[in-house]
Amino acid sequence: MFKNLRNRLIIINVTITTVVLLIVFSAIYIIYTRSANNRPPMMAETHYIFSDDVEDYVEISLKQEKETAAKELLVMLVVSGFVIDFVVALVSYYLAEEAIKPVKEAYESQKLFIANASHEIKTPLAAISANLEAADIHGNKWIKNVETETAKLTKLNADLLSLARTDINHNVDAVDVNLGELVRETTESFEPRMKDKDFSLKIMLHGKTKVNREDFVQILTILLDNAVKYSEDKIRVSLSNHELKVSNDGAKIDAKDLPHIFDRFFQTDKSAEGVGLGLSIAKSLADRNGWKIEVKSGKLTTFILSF
């Protein structure tokens, strides 16, 4: 993220400098060449001194000198422009690094805080859930509400912890995995939630593929959870060579929302449960592995993971 920000700052500075140099150098070149071309070729009072041949020779020589001078000026301006741009790029790189350093440090501290806080919160949440189960109180709506909200908080905390870990840990451990079996196992865990859905699974990839198993499963789980949550009836999952697709027939996503679908805390349906972290986590995991994830929305809304 900060690398892209630094590069944008450098590009902006170099672009502005280049435009200014083009304008100034073009003005210098035009003024110089016009001034040279408008000089009188010969003084009228000395015209009688030279023969016609000598005068023609002088005129040609002067013309050639003007052209040579113009070319030399152009070369000098172009070389000067490149040198100035190079110097500006180096200075911009240094200044951009210095400018984003405090922001980068604050961002890193924030990520560590979220990771540590989420880890610490996980313990009391687990204790609350365990005590609720041990109490074995059934039929009490207040206890039921506590269990529901505790489950939501546990899910939110797990998402925050996952997102923080993704930001902090950029190491990827890829191993040979039978993705067909892995996709089948993961979708089977969703069968109770999809018993009233028109679900189909198509696997066209056989053999083993080198991927990060945990990240792949987490992305698929997020996409399946999203499909179950928003589908009306149909859910389609397909696995082919280096491509996973998860589709549902929920409401079409507006074109204005598509660019933001993987943004943190973004939700197309503001009344839906959750806080909009799932797809952001999927995008972060995909980026960490060098994969590409995108969404297309028409009759079906399809999330495509290219790995």
Instruction: Band the pLDDT of 248: cuts 50, 70, 90.
Output: very high
Surface-to-core class of residue 205, CB atoms within 10 Å of its CB (0-12 exposed, 13-18 middle, 19+ buried) = middle
Residue 39 has pLDDT above 60, yes or no: no
- Percent of the chain scoring above 70 in pLDDT: 82
Residue in this structure with the two tokens 């990827």, named with its chain if needed: 172
Q: What is the pLDDT of residue 38?
A: 62
Instruction: State the pLDDT at residue 168.
Output: 65
pLDDT recorded at residue 293:
95
What average pLDDT score do residues 117-125 get? 75
Output the CA–CA distances (angstroms, integers) from residue 220 to 49, 83, 129, 192, in the order listed: 94, 51, 27, 17
pLDDT score, position 44: 46
- Collapsing DSSP states into helix, strand and coil, what is residue 212? coil
What number is the average pLDDT over the span 32-60? Answer: 58
Phi, psi values for residue 299, rounded to 5°: -60, -40
Question: What per-residue confidence (pLDDT) applies to 300?
Answer: 93
Maximum separation of any 2 CA atoms in the chain, in Å? 123
Q: Torsion angle, CA of 19/20/23/24, rounded to 10 degrees?
A: -150
Are 303 and 295 within 8 A, CB to CB?
Answer: yes
Q: Is the pLDDT of residue 117 over 80?
A: no
pLDDT recorded at residue 43: 47
- pLDDT tens string 165-210: 776 666 678 899 999 999 999 999 998 888 889 999 999 988 899 9
Tokens 């399946």 belong to 224
pLDDT one-digit tens code per residue, 43-53: 444 444 545 56
pLDDT at site 96:
75
Q: Would you say residue 115 has pLDDT above 60? A: yes
Global pTM reads: 0.58
At 224-239, the pLDDT tens digits run 999 998 899 999 999 9
Q: What is the per-residue pLDDT for 273?
A: 62
Given its phi and psi angles, is residue 294 left (phi above 0), alpha (psi -120 to 50 degrees) or beta?
beta
The yes-or-no verdict on residue 244 having pLDDT over 70 is yes
Per-position b or e across 47-77, b if 16+ CB within 10 A of its CB: eeeeeeeeeeeeeeeeeeeeeeeeeebeeeb
The whole-angstrom separation of Cα 201 and Cα 220 is 13
What was the pLDDT predicted at 41? 52
